[in-house]
Structure 1
């Protein structure tokens, strides 16, 4: 893994990096791309020194706080924007729900959490962000090798996508991790799941809300969303039977039957007791206050495939519900 110091000079481009040029040649050969075009694209990318810092996890021992996290995404500004977005695209959201089985509420929650309905899609050049993370991913990260390999694959997918669509690779802007559009798709997700939902013959997740809506719904269908299944159920504990360590051992992967959860001291509400699929006990820490717990279904788990965080999934669910309530209140 190359040291970030090799590319820190303000005017130094990746053209000066032998490892970057070697990967460009390999990528071009394997993908059947023009070698000089790939070398120029990677060579003209700039190292962005702030990005390696942004991908580092919080220091060990940093307390998580669901209530604080929720407050970042569930606020009047975002809720009002969600109502406007739903009103403007109600027919498209209804069509996506019919065709893919994903509730409009969840799609609205995703796009709201990700970009406030297109207001904050990121201003990093995706080419710079992906190249920085592909070659200068911070070694201090606990999964540095795995994550750097991931971003090299994303860079490859991005350049292949730019070639197929005839797009200048330095044109798209996105997040510090290279996510793009209203729903913040990584290049591999764009390639696998993005669809033309407005019927104009092209896929545009930046300027077409319809394409973004359909693509988010398609993403969830591909990740095993089950139509009609709740995302989670309320849960309380029977202190005499509670085996919390055993309940939390699988993390958020649905593993337990409703009966087994109850046998281990997690008492479900009436709907949860009747649920026939596997469940997970989801813990949302609240800093120094007691944690919040819910019983997550396979649909809750599906939301975490968009972003691997139970806090994220619950924020998506809650924002969608708040927007639904705000529309109904009118």
Structure 2
């Protein structure tokens, strides 16, 4: 896995990957390698030529091996894989922005901390306050953070993706595009976990829809994270991340708690970075990983806000570029780092935090 400073991995969410196009337009010209075998499926989506994987020996072999590993019916697995489709747009959308594209925190932030998401977040909070309170009590994750995650990921269920999950995962498993680091092994693992999820939830694998990378539901969980962290928070016997806001809230909070969230701790402090370039480089070296104490920040010439004086945890000096303008800086805590476990991007994490805080301010101000 590449260093988090340079790579946003695919796990539960892909919304923040889409959001990276705030820095530039995502390249749609990269060529995916063509499928090895073609067969025309029923044209139920008005496509003139739909490519399915039913005649691919490697896909059928993968299905048999998957079924054996997971103790699933091989005919069921192979039959569903045979109906999965190569989707050219999936192969295009997975490509990164052009090399050398300048990041811009101000532009990125404006896509998420904006009136539409704030209004939708307020309505979501009001309608689900019971579940937010329960999740906070159980997992220690504040309502603001949970609301921020769901708002950034899917605008509270408004944008959950229109790709069949099996198609997205099959395309990236068996025909990952050239021109970037090959992630096909990762997506084959996710495809396997998708069949495990479909079996446990008694779902038709051809039915679920999600992002171009296979992330699902309001929280945009990848299948492996669904299987590991999703919870039946409303106790109805099923995990429904599309319609059950309770399950979504509980699952997001559970994920963060399992990935290092610390109850009643802040996410970041305001900071003036060191003037000395050597000191600044030292503090920036570990990237978003909290490494330094408050005292060590001071020794390196970083000026923290007053309320950081009593903080006893570790901090990371986080730099957010603003295009041609001067960068922005924060001192990220262990809880900031926990949010980046949802998506390995400091821009993503700060957008989640600031959206949640904006919704929280409006919520508290309302009678």
> What TM bracket, shorter-length normalisation?
over 0.9
Q: TM-score, normalised by structure 1?
A: 0.95
2:228 to 192, 197, 206: 192
Distance in 1, matches of 2:216 and 2:226, equals 9
Say whether the 8 Å CA contact 1:241–1:265 is kept in structure 2. Answer: no
- CA distance 1:240–1:175, change in 2 (3 Å): closer
Map 1:33-182 → 2, pairs under 5 A: 33-141=72-180, 143-144=181-182, 147-182=183-218
How many residues were matched structurally? 325
**In angstroms, what is the RMSD of aligned CA positions?**
1.4
1:319 to 349, 352, 355: 355
Q: Show the counterpart of 1:12.
A: 51
Q: Which segments of 5 or more consecutive residues in structure 2 lack a partner in the other structure?
A: 1-31, 39-48
Distance apart, 1:42 and its partner CA = 1.1
- CA distance 1:259–1:125, change in 2 (3 Å): same
- CA distance 1:11–1:298, change in 2 (3 Å): same
Distance apart, 1:53 and its partner CA = 1.6
Distance apart, 1:16 and its partner CA = 2.0
Q: Show the counterpart of 2:64.
A: 25
Distance in 1, matches of 2:278 and 2:67, equals 57
Distance apart, 1:274 and its partner CA = 2.1
1:297 to 330, 333, 341: 333
Q: TM-score, normalised by structure 2?
A: 0.86
Distance apart, 1:4 and its partner CA = 2.5
Q: Which has the higher helix share?
A: 1
Say whether the 8 Å CA contact 1:7–1:13 is kept in structure 2. Answer: no
- CA distance 1:24–1:8, change in 2 (3 Å): closer
Distance in 2, matches of 1:107 and 1:321, equals 11
1:202-258 alpha-carbon deviations (Å, 9 max, x no partner): 111111000100011110111011001100000013425861211111110111111
Say whether the 8 Å CA contact 1:281–1:294 is kept in structure 2. Answer: yes
- CA distance 1:240–1:181, change in 2 (3 Å): closer
1:97-136 alpha-carbon deviations (Å, 9 max, x no partner): 0111000000000000001111111111001011111111
